[in-house]
Amino acid sequence: MMSTQTSTPARPPGWKTVTAITLVAILVLWVGFVAFIWRAMHRPPEAFARVMSHLPWQVFLILPFETLWTRARAGSLAVGDAVPDFSLAKLDKTGSLRLSELNRTQPVVMIFGSYT
């Protein structure tokens, strides 16, 4: 005796399922893109500039850019820590100055600001 079983045709996924899958896919792509930009921000400024030069301005609309930037470039200095040594070229191009050399002879005050 053979049993004949009628199978019901498979129903296509409902709109809720399709919407959920689409949103999850968009979220995964967004998180991956944020991770890519985060990694680029931790590279030297020239390398980060190369990455950003290829991106359209709309990127700033979909990324928490300011938050990423301030955290990526925050550094690890705290109040009272010694300043890392660095050198700068003189304006007349006759040589360079090192912070450690200046600091040996006199206290150094560094002021960072914008005059615009």
Q: State the SS3 of 56-92.
A: CCCHHHHCCHHHHHHHHCCCCCCCCCCCCCCEEECCC
pLDDT score for 2: 60
pLDDT digits (tens, 9 = 90+) for 53-91: 999 989 888 888 888 888 887 777 788 888 888 888 988
> Which is more confident, 27 or 75?
27
What predicted TM-score, i.e. pTM, was given to this entire model? Answer: 0.56
Lowest mean pLDDT among 38-47, 82-91, 105-114: 105-114
pLDDT score for 115: 73
State the average pLDDT over residues 90-110.
87
